[in-house]
């Protein structure tokens, strides 16, 4: 799988402090390498058809485009905020 960030996802990543940013990047690399062996955690409501990846209190919201083997990172936000904001 390849990984791509939306502009919002890139912006979210840049806003993180260095330690959290490293943890998030490490988790995204883990997802890329292990995707075929996991069951993605799906979301509902406004985030229907998206999945989440946990990094402590942070959530990485992504979609999978199977036809082109692509993971698209949409948002990286604190757990208590990410589900309220769908921008």
**Is residue 26 packed enough to be buried (19+ CB in 10 Å), middle (13-18) or exposed (0-12)?**
exposed
**What CATH number does the domain located at 2-82 have?**
3.30.2310.20
Q: Find how far residue 38's CA is from the centre of its chain.
A: 15
Q: What is the pTM of this model?
A: 0.90
Q: What would the pLDDT profile of 56-72 be if each residue is shown by its tens digit?
A: 999 999 999 999 999 99
Position 74 scores a pLDDT of: 96
């Amino acid at each position: 799988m390849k990984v791509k960030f939306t502009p919002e996802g890139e912006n979210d990543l840049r806003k993180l402090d260095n330690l959290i940013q490293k943890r998030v990047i490490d988790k995204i690399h883990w997802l890329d390498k292990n995707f075929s062996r996991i069951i993605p955690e799906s979301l509902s409501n406004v985030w229907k058809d998206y999945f989440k990846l946990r990094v402590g209190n942070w959530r990485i919201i992504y979609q999978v485009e199977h036809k082109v083997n692509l993971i698209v990172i949409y948002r990286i936000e604190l757990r208590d905020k990410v589900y309220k904001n769908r921008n």
